[in-house]
Amino acid sequence: MSEKVTFVADKREKTGKCQNRRLRVAGKIPAVFYSQEGENVILSVNEIEFTKLYRSIGTTQLFNLEFDGKTHDTLIWKAQMDPVRPRINHIDFLGVAPKKPLKIKVPVALEGTAPGVKLGGQMTIYREMLEVFCSAETIPAKIIVNIDGMDVNDTVFVNDIKLADGAKINSDSNFALVRCVAGRTVSDEDGEEATTEEVAAE
């Protein structure tokens, strides 16, 4: 695990739309810190510095959030975007207990080169994010799906994915996660082109 970064926030007392608007004009973002122990603290953060942090660690990496003279193990739980402008309007931080389990959404990423793609197939990811049940210390940055052995029409199901460190995907059904879908034409072993319908019928 990489070394945790430290980010400083300011504790605030006033809330409401007018106060939040003043913060944004001043280059700050209103935020709330929620802990797994039930603590809620209203904060504000520097917009430029937080944007850098968010782009760097996303929502699956622990960092140290410092405010009111204390440091907390924290995740960026939610960053609410402005509906008009490309900026963050509000942030929810989650303070975590290292050993206490939580549910968190983790992005899916492909690794490798599928033989089916070389034959004209296309990789389709049916779900970009999966909910994972784990402790804060074992959150995977990404759920990696290795596609090195996938041919046209091969499918990886969610139950095929194994996570390390006691983390597990929170799902009641074994749904399709990734599939190598036949393209318009797929070369057969003789070098001739078969249509998508022909491949599906084999």
pLDDT value, residue 184 = 63
Of 47, 81, 97, which one is at a domain's C-terminal end? Answer: 97
CA distance 143 to 177: 11
Burial class of residue 58 in the structure, from the number of CB atoms within 10 Å of its CB (0-12 exposed, 13-18 middle, 19+ buried) = middle
Which helix (H) or strand (E) element contains residue 57?
Answer: helix 47-57
CATH of residue 162 = 2.170.120.20
Contact 112, 146 (CB under 8 A): yes
Between the two ends of the chain, the Cα-to-Cα distance in Å is 46
pTM exceeds 0.95 for this model: no
Classify residue 1: in a domain, yes or no. Answer: no
Higher pLDDT pick, 179 / 195 = 179
Q: pLDDT of 124-140, one tens digit each?
A: 999 999 999 998 888 99
What is the domain extent for residue 18? 6-97
Q: Is residue 56 part of a domain?
A: yes
Asked whether residue 126 falls in the same domain as residue 182, the answer is yes
181 shares a domain with 133: yes
Q: Residue 165 class from Cβ within 10 Å (0-12 exposed, 13-18 middle, 19+ buried)?
A: exposed
Domain final position from 51, 70, 97: 97
pLDDT, tens digit, for every residue of 50-93?
A: 999 999 999 999 999 999 999 999 999 999 998 898 899 999 99
Domain end (from 50, 81, 97): 97
Question: Rounded to an integer, what distance in angstroms lies between the CA atom of residue 202 and that of residue 155?
Answer: 16
Answer yes or no: do 127 and 190 share one domain.
Answer: yes
Same domain, 155 and 195: yes
Q: What is the residue-averaged pLDDT of the chain? A: 88
Q: What is the pLDDT of residues 141-154, one digit of tens each?
A: 899 999 999 999 99
In a domain, 72, yes or no: yes
Whether 118 is in a domain gets the answer: yes
**One domain for residues 59 and 146:** no
